[in-house]
Structure 1
Amino acid sequence: MLLKIYQYIRGYVRIRITGHRMERFINACNYRKIKIWDLSASDGSYEMNLWVKDFKKLRHISHKTSTKITIVKKYGLPFYLFDHRRRKLFFAGIFAATVLLLIMSGYIWDIEILGTHTQTEEVIRTFLKENHVNTGIRRGNIDCDRIVKDIRKGFDDIIWVSASIEGTRLIIQIKENEDAKIDNKTDIKEDIYPNSDAGTDLVSDCTGTIVRIITRKGIPMVREGTSVNPGDILVSGQIPILNDAKEITGYESCHSDADIFIQTQIHYENTLPRKYIKKTSVKFPRLFYLYFRIGKYRLSPFFIWSPYEHYSKSTMESRLKLLDHFYLPVYIGVVGLTPYKPVMKKYTDQQLQDKLNRYFLRYCEDLDKKGVEIIQNDVKIDTGSKEGSISGTLTIICNTGQSRQSEIPQLPNDPEEQIEQLGE
């Protein structure tokens, strides 16, 4: 394969020789180191291939051996360029496209993130963008080792990261700690207050009753069954230091960390108009428009216009790539316009109730995905002449505990007060 490509780029001719001294002609070519190949004999003549530059050396050999040379066919890029020498713009376009592809191959045009479950791809992409890693960056400026270290430092639940470059793609593979519970309220990092030695407390963000508390760092200030209000300290970041006489001589600061579950109530409310517009299909054909997108810029050979008064719009987009890993920042898209006729409809009482109930069940499913346990709901549905509504309260058990910089308490002057404070 490579030999054929080389022969095509260099160019060669196939010739036919006739005469009484054809064997002497071939020996003379060998003596003058003229390379010939695919030699064949037919009808009292010989045919062979040789390079274009060697063809000019045959005139003297032909005259000396009394043979006749006929060109059977010409092969290769030099002859193609000569035959199309007037199409300068065509070859200039090919050259410009080749140079553009070579330049674009030195940049990253696609970032693929694999293995995400807890963290979404958008969160990872935003983090990479903040660290100056995004599409359009030069491949030479990509430091895979630094990317791995930054991701592991920025996300505590990620236990393994791999970054590699394939073509114009940056592939990041992630393995998360599936056993870790991620919660923004209790996921307290040591660098929240980097310039403070006072430590951090965990405070309540809602009104309710504590049902379970598991403290890893800090001093718990509440127990199961304790009623709390927003702002109450749940876990203190100030650990008292006692001397031999059980007197408080100071406090050691730490960043509190705990799993705290609280029983509280939340309000739910939703309304739905009784009248709605139904899109009914019509016999008019759908319209399609083609467009191209390069980065953020969108180009279309057609002006996207609809002759229909009412229509829905859909877009389907595909990215261009060469081979498997040579992605380009060029997209081809199709915009579809589907006409419809709006018809005013009304929900029946049963339809209103079913639809509002579906919205409520979806809301409960979202709470369950966030780790919220619903233990009781007092929600009622009302249907009126103009709209239907659903409202009520939900009794839930959820995670609580927001981080707040703690204050170092003042040491009491009276030892009895210290003992009394310690007993509390």
Structure 2
Amino acid sequence: MRAGLSRWLGGYLLVRLTGRAPERFFNLCRSRGIELWGLRATPEGCEGYMTVAGLRQSREPIRKAQVKLRIRRRYGLPFFLYRNRKRKLFFAGVAACFAMLYGLSFFIWDIQVEGNRMYTEDTLVRYFGGLDIRCGMPKSLVDCQDLEDSLRTDFPEITWVSARVSGTRLLVKIKENEVLSSVPELETGPCDIVAEKDGIITEMIVRSGTPQVAVGDTVAAGDVLISGVVPITDDGGTVVAEHYVRADGDVTARTSASYRQDYSGWRTVETMTGWERRGVFLTVGGWSLRLMPPEQGESQWKTATEEHQLALTENFCLPVWWGRILAKEYSSYERMCTPEEKEEAKEQALTEFSEKLTEKGVQIEENNARIVETGSGFSVEGSAVLREPIGESRELTSSKISAVEENDRTE
């Protein structure tokens, strides 16, 4: 591509070679570095392409090889300018075009965000608008360092930001935090482990503290499972002192849960009629042109737009957008839900409930649901038997700690 552009800028020629020894001419040109390409045999002789500079250097090879070289056609910028030397308005338009491009190069015409997963590009672009950073603003007013600091301050999950202006595009690359933004402080105070909800104990592992229940026991919410008070006994088994510690352990229980989700008894059905309207649009700066057949009556349409932005290079974007518009007509009406749709709603409720519990590490032993008809619709009511951790920490109160210490001193 570079060779073709260089030839076009310097000009090149289609030449016809006739004479006694064209092969010697080719060898002489090769030894002198004269470029020849596109050679082909014709009834009148041999034709090929060579540059204007190569033609000037080929006088001696022409004389030595006793051949004649005739110019058939001329290509390239020098010949184009010569043929159009009297078209002053054309060159004035070209000069005005380059002047306009030069002026547009001082503004931002596109904002691109890379590396975002937690925050959408629309959210970040709206945030940039709050900082007065938007398409059409002068590049000199963009403070990339201030933009980076603002993003790190206002979006805690963004740990790394790189903002730079390339051409007429503002490139913002971010990296979001994939781990905990802060390490929770380790609590060391004495506490009990109590039941978070009602259930039957199925598994219990105690690492520190005194167990208050056993596997198979039924507990209620708030009951102490592992006590933070540890008794100290003598050889005879008599309690001589008590100390408080931070209870630690894993307690799993069989629990029950219920859920309910209401649905409307009517469904809105949309049916495509088959009629379509196609159009195009062009936006230049703040001016917009849209060519599309008008709507017929009060029909309903779904519209999809495909948009493109004009860019001379990868990062030299211009304030010109164009694209295609496709609108499809549809009609909508309401009807009552069918038994199959109600079953689908029940299965969806079951799946959503199961997925939420699975994400939390809860095992589901049984999950049943039923459809209950209501006045204006129906509801899905379900009940499940779960196996899940139910222990949660509860700090020991100061009064209880003081009572333990007083008991130790008395003994």
Structure-1 residue corresponding to 2:348: 362
Residue 239 of structure 1: how far off its partner (Å):
8.1
The answer (yes or no) to whether the contact 2:162–2:173 under 8 Å persists in 1 is no
Taking a change above 3 Å as real, the CA distance of residues 210 and 301 of structure 1, as seen in their structure-2 partners, is: farther
5+ unaligned residues in a row in structure 1: which ranges? Answer: 113-120, 156-189, 419-424
Q: d(CA) in 2 for partners of 1:37 and 1:257?
A: 86
Structure-2 residue corresponding to 1:209: 199
Structure-2 residue corresponding to 1:414: 407
Pick aligned residue for 1:192 from 167, 170, 184: 184
Kindly indicate whether residue 168 of structure 2 is the aligned counterpart of residue 132 of structure 1.
no
Structure-1 residue corresponding to 2:74: 74
Alignment-mate amino acid for residue 348 of structure 2: R
Q: d(CA) in 2 for partners of 1:300 and 1:214?
A: 72
Kindly indicate whether residue 393 of structure 2 is the aligned counterpart of residue 394 of structure 1.
no
After TM superposition, the structure 1 = structure 2 runs for residues 111-122 of structure 1, keeping only pairs within 5 Å, are 111=115
Taking a change above 3 Å as real, the CA distance of residues 23 and 337 of structure 1, as seen in their structure-2 partners, is: closer
Q: d(CA) in 2 for partners of 1:20 and 1:89?
A: 49
Residue 71 of structure 1: how far off its partner (Å):
2.3
Pick aligned residue for 1:88 from 78, 88, 94: 94
5+ unaligned residues in a row in structure 2: which ranges? Answer: 85-89, 124-151
The answer (yes or no) to whether the contact 1:109–1:136 under 8 Å persists in 2 is no
The answer (yes or no) to whether the contact 1:133–1:142 under 8 Å persists in 2 is no
Alignment length, in residue pairs? 341
Output one character per residue of 1:157-193: Cα deviation in whole Å (capped at 9) or x when no partner.
xxxxxxxxxxxxxxxxxxxxxxxxxxxxxxxxx9333
User: Matched residue of 1:362: which SS?
Assistant: helix
Structure-1 residue corresponding to 2:366: 375
User: Matched residue of 2:258: which SS?
Assistant: strand
Structure-2 residue corresponding to 1:35: 34
After TM superposition, the structure 1 = structure 2 runs for residues 133-152 of structure 1, keeping only pairs within 5 Å, are 150-151=177-178
The answer (yes or no) to whether the contact 1:210–1:223 under 8 Å persists in 2 is no
Q: d(CA) in 2 for partners of 1:266 and 1:235?
A: 28
With the length of structure 2 as denominator, give the TM-score of the two structures. 0.53
Pick aligned residue for 1:311 from 300, 308, 315: 300
Q: d(CA) in 2 for partners of 1:292 and 1:211?
A: 69
Kindly indicate whether residue 271 of structure 2 is the aligned counterpart of residue 287 of structure 1.
no
Residue 285 of structure 1: how far off its partner (Å):
1.3
Residue 229 of structure 1: how far off its partner (Å):
4.5
Residue 209 of structure 1: how far off its partner (Å):
1.1
Residue 365 of structure 1: how far off its partner (Å):
2.5
Output one character per residue of 1:118-176: Cα deviation in whole Å (capped at 9) or x when no partner.
xxx759999x97543799956998698xx7xx53x449xxxxxxxxxxxxxxxxxxxxx
Alignment-mate amino acid for residue 413 of structure 1: E
Alignment-mate amino acid for residue 88 of structure 1: V
Structure-1 residue corresponding to 2:128: none
User: Matched residue of 2:189: which SS?
Assistant: coil
Residue 340 of structure 1: how far off its partner (Å):
0.8
Structure-1 residue corresponding to 2:146: none
User: Matched residue of 2:345: which SS?
Assistant: helix
Taking a change above 3 Å as real, the CA distance of residues 391 and 66 of structure 1, as seen in their structure-2 partners, is: closer
Alignment-mate amino acid for residue 132 of structure 1: I
Output one character per residue of 1:286-335: Cα deviation in whole Å (capped at 9) or x when no partner.
33566799xxx9x8846898545453636476999x9xx99x9x996755
Report % sequence identity: 14
Output one character per residue of 1:334-380: Cα deviation in whole Å (capped at 9) or x when no partner.
553332153x5456xxx4x5544442332122223333536375856
The answer (yes or no) to whether the contact 1:268–1:392 under 8 Å persists in 2 is yes
Residue 23 of structure 1: how far off its partner (Å):
11
The answer (yes or no) to whether the contact 1:308–1:339 under 8 Å persists in 2 is no
After TM superposition, the structure 1 = structure 2 runs for residues 264-343 of structure 1, keeping only pairs within 5 Å, are 264-268=256-260, 270-273=262-265, 278-279=269-270, 282=273, 285-288=275-278, 301=290, 307=296, 309=298, 311=300, 313=302, 315=304, 336-340=327-331, 342=333
